[in-house]
């Protein structure tokens, strides 16, 4: 009887380990995304503006979707020129997760109990989300474009908190965040498991007077895989070799 | 022979979020309110990131040859739309349609490429909101 109980407990363990939703698989941006999930949106903190630049959309110059820029950030955006990014030094610099999480490229998820690995096709970026209960490192820990992410489950939602993100773009039009940006994402699967929905919320007290957020939706595409990106900076030489305007 | 066709789009489009590119901003770098179409002989086709790129020799009505360049989506995106690394070959004549760069250079963002018989390169064109 006792042995039977132990066997039953062991049999139950793997199931318990998989009690959380399984995000494993290839996820491509949903270009026909419907309305943002009201339950996720309701959990966004106050003083947050939801940006309408998710996926393939982008804001034109000096449009920031309701984000309130501090004077220094506004001045930086005003002086920013897209052509300045077309150099060998800059053309292959990856953006931070603040921008790339919502871009029109797919990503793959590998999931274990202690960590989720998000592998983004965009710039070959890889992100580890620690699920083992650790906290963020101290302020002297290196800042990177992917930052340091810790996650936990709240029911069927994955909540990811990210700090230590190196300064980079927010909207790809001259608005940059600082290395003090803080991001919180909430992910959940649709009832049938074919869609992954998320809110991406961020604050940056050095750059913004309010907070920003996006709603993002991906669709699962079984059998697909992400491709290597391997950015080749010599691409920019083609632009530079193009005749000047007539 | 050069064939440049410019179309004005609704002014409201300028106020709407536009296409993202792999690295530089589409909305800032290209003019989504205009379309351009050029026909010429392919000089080169790059199939690399952050963008593919076609170099096209375009001859105008006076017989002057000018190089145009058209950047494409990232190769992985092209592959998902039926392109291959040799989908466009040097020496062949094609028509490329797209959005012109704002700086006035003969440089465009490709929306579709057509062969002389009117057939499309790949399985579908690249729209402004369905880039992947």
**Confidence band, pLDDT 50/70/90 cuts, at residue B4:** very low
Nearest to A122 by CA among A136, A112, A107, A142: A107
Model confidence over A14-45: pLDDT tens digits? 444 558 999 999 999 987 667 899 999 999 99
How many domains would you assign to chain B? 1
**Confidence band, pLDDT 50/70/90 cuts, at residue A114:** very high
The answer to whether residue B54 scores a pLDDT higher than 80 is yes
Mutant choice from B28, B40, B124 vs A, greatest count of A C-beta within 10 A: B28
In a domain, B13, yes or no: no
The answer to whether residue A56 scores a pLDDT higher than 80 is no
User: What residues in B contact A241, CB-CB < 8 Å?
Assistant: 67, 69
Q: Which residues, at least 6 apart from A97, have a Cβ–Cβ distance to it below 8 Å?
A: A125, A127, A145, A146, A147, A162, A165, A183
The confidence score (pLDDT) of residue B131 equals 55
Q: What ipTM was predicted for this assembly?
A: 0.77
Residues A189-207 as b/e (b if ≥16 CB within 10 A, e otherwise) read beeeeebbbbbbbbbbeeb
Q: Which residue of A has its CA nearest to B130?
A: A31
Query: Do residues A214 and A51 lie in contact, with contact meaning Cβ atoms separated by under 8 Å?
Result: yes
Beta strand pairing status for A148-154 and A126-130? parallel
Task: Compute chain A's Rg from CA coordinates.
Answer: 20
Model confidence over A57-95: pLDDT tens digits? 789 899 999 999 999 999 999 999 888 888 999 999 999
Q: Is B56 on the interface with A (CB under 8 A)?
A: no
Mutant choice from A228, A235, A241 vs B, greatest count of B C-beta within 10 A: A235
Closest CB to B46: pick one of A60, A61, A235.
Answer: A235
- pTM exceeds 0.90: no
Q: Residue B69: beta bridge partners?
A: B55, B107
In this complex, do A31 and B130 lie within 8 Å of one another by their Cβ atoms?
A: yes
Model confidence over A216-225: pLDDT tens digits? 999 999 999 9
**Confidence band, pLDDT 50/70/90 cuts, at residue B2:** very low
Half-sphere exposure of A126 (CA within 13 A, CB side): 5
In this complex, do B17 and A58 lie within 8 Å of one another by their Cβ atoms?
A: yes
In a domain, B127, yes or no: no
In a domain, B129, yes or no: no
**Confidence band, pLDDT 50/70/90 cuts, at residue B130:** low
In this complex, do B49 and A229 lie within 8 Å of one another by their Cβ atoms?
A: yes
Query: Do residues B77 and B132 lie in contact, with contact meaning Cβ atoms separated by under 8 Å?
Result: yes
Q: Look up the CATH number of the domain holding residue B101.
A: 2.40.50.140
Q: Containing domain of residue B49, as a range?
A: 19-114
């Amino acid at each position: 009887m006792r042995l039977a109980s132990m066997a039953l407990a062991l049999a139950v363990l793997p199931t318990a380990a998989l009690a959380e939703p399984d995000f494993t698989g290839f996820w491509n941006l949903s270009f026909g995304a419907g309305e943002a999930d009201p339950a996720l949106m309701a959990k966004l903190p106050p003083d947050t503006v939801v940006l309408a630049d998710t996926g393939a959309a982008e804001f034109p110059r000096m449009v920031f979707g309701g984000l309130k820029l501090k004077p220094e950030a506004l001045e930086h955006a005003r002086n920013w020129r897209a052509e300045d990014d077309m150099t060998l030094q800059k053309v292959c610099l990856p953006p931070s997760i603040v921008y790339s999480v919502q871009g029109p490229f797919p990503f793959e998820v590998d999931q274990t109990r202690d960590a989720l690995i998000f592998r983004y096709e965009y710039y070959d970026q890889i992100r580890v989300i620690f699920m083992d209960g650790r906290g963020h490192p101290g302020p002297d820990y290196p800042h990177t474009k992917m930052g340091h992410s810790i996650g936990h489950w709240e029911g069927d939602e994955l909540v990811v908190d990210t700090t230590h993100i190196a300064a980079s773009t927010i909207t790809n039009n001259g608005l940059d965040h600082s290395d003090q940006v803080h991001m919180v994402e909430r992910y959940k699967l649709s009832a049938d498991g074919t869609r992954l929905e998320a809110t991406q919320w961020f604050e940056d007290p050095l750059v913004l007077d309010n907070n920003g957020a996006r709603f993002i939706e991906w669709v699962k595409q079984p059998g697909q895989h992400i491709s290597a990106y391997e950015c080749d900076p010599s691409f920019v030489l083609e632009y530079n070799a193009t005749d000047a305007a007539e | 022979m050069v064939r440049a066709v410019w179309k004005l789009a609704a002014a409201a489009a300028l106020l709407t979020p536009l296409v993202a590119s792999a690295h530089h901003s589409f909305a800032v770098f290209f003019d989504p309110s205009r379309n351009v179409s050029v026909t010429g002989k392919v000089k080169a086709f790059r199939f690399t990131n952050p963008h593919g790129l076609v170099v096209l020799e375009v001859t105008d009505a006076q017989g002057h040859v000018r190089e145009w360049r058209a950047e494409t989506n990232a190769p992985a995106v092209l592959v998902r739309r039926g392109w291959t690394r040799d989908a466009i070959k040097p020496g062949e004549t094609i028509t490329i349609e797209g959005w012109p760069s704002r700086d006035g250079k003969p440089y465009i963002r490709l929306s579709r490429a057509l062969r002389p018989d009117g057939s499309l390169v790949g399985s579908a064109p690249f729209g402004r909101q369905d880039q992947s």
